[in-house]
Amino acid sequence: MHYLGYLVAALLVAGIGYSVYYFLSGTENTEEYDVCVDDRCIRAFHAHMQLSVELCGEKTLLPLERGPLDGPHTHKERNLIHFEERLPYEKETGRLLDTTPFRMETIMDIFEIPFTADCLGEYCSGDFCPDGTPGVVTMTVNGEQRTDFEQYVWKDDDYVELRFG
């Protein structure tokens, strides 16, 4: 009979432990939350960005399951970037201390696609596409033209289009 009491107690402790872990681990249902202890603040993210890369009219498909799990990465959806991690931020302003994981240059480096204001993939502004037309690099975010290219810091639900052509 005593064993039944121990079993119930063990299951109760395990259930409480799992609940605390689930809440603090930034699970799939948690989009974003902040925790501050004294002057140290952490923001937990669960963010996604759709990325379209087009070279001379040809769509580029990003590899699946690529990138570090504590940084920008893909899973089983084509060209959908995931980010689930905790990052420190400044308590007074709410600004992230390091935006590197959200910069376009970080994502493009992970997928080994050269990207600057002048170059995308193997093409640079002024190069010719296979059909003989000269191309330039362009970038839009949610339909708006951007000029910050590799320095752009993406946000949850952004739709980023990179084109050469």
Domain boundaries, the chain: 1-29, 31-164
Spatial distance between the Cα atoms of 149 and 125, rounded to a whole number of angstroms = 13
Torsion sign across C-alpha atoms 76, 113, 142, 158: positive
pLDDT confidence of residue 6 = 56
CATH 2.170.130 given to domain 31-164: yes
Torsion sign across C-alpha atoms 69, 101, 49, 56: negative
pLDDT confidence of residue 21 = 42
Max CA separation in the chain (angstroms)? 84
Which pLDDT tens digits describe the chain residue by residue (165 residues)? 555 555 445 444 544 444 444 444 443 444 567 888 887 899 988 999 999 999 999 999 999 999 999 999 999 998 999 999 999 998 888 888 999 999 999 999 999 999 999 999 999 999 999 999 999 999 999 999 999 999 999 999 999 999 999
Give me the phi and psi of 95, to 5 degrees please.
-85, 140
Residue in this structure with the two tokens 């925790």, named with its chain if needed: 35
